[in-house]
A = this chain, B = another copy of it.
Amino acid sequence: MSQPSISQALPHIQILNPETLGKPLGQYSQLTRVKASEFLFIAGQVGIDNVGTGKDGKAPADFDAQCGLVFANIGAALASQGASFANVVEFTTYLVHSQDIAKFMAYRAREFPRLFSGGAYPPNTLLIIDRLVREEFLIEVSAVAAL
């Protein structure tokens, strides 16, 4: 495992909602413009407790709890490279049940202001698919970040 290095210069990330595109349908923005020297590609993260003290490799049954673990895992991936949520340039979110869309919207509305300063939420594409790698996973989020 390589030692994470801290990126010195901040990348130039603009998170934008052009007027011509209308208001986003949730806590995301329409586009990112980024000038960066390095990128992180983070594999889709699921609701496994890697970070907390409960580390058992199991996903909780509760959607909100899975959301919390997914974003904690993404945060850990970012932190491992000296980055934070401010470095994220794109999310892609996969849900298994359309019934969870409203819960996901509520989760972001409640938690994203804490993760992202100034309301600059990265672009997100939200997709409802059949299944994730394990039956019990209800949400998976992949991310691209810039350093």
Partner-B contacts on A (CB < 8 A): 1-2, 4, 14, 16-22, 24-26, 28-45, 48, 50-51, 55, 57, 73, 76-77, 79-81, 89-90, 92, 94, 98, 101, 122-134, 140, 142, 144, 147
Contacts and interface: CB of A to CB of B under 8 A. Distances in A.
Contacts of A39: 32-34, 36, 89
Given A21-B50, A50-B21, A123 B41 contact: yes
Minimum-distance CB pairs A-B, first 8: A44-B125, A43-B123, A18-B80, A22-B50, A128-B131, A41-B90, A20-B76, A32-B41
B147 A20 contact: no
Contacts of A147: 33
How many copies of this chain sit in the oligomeric assembly?
A: 3
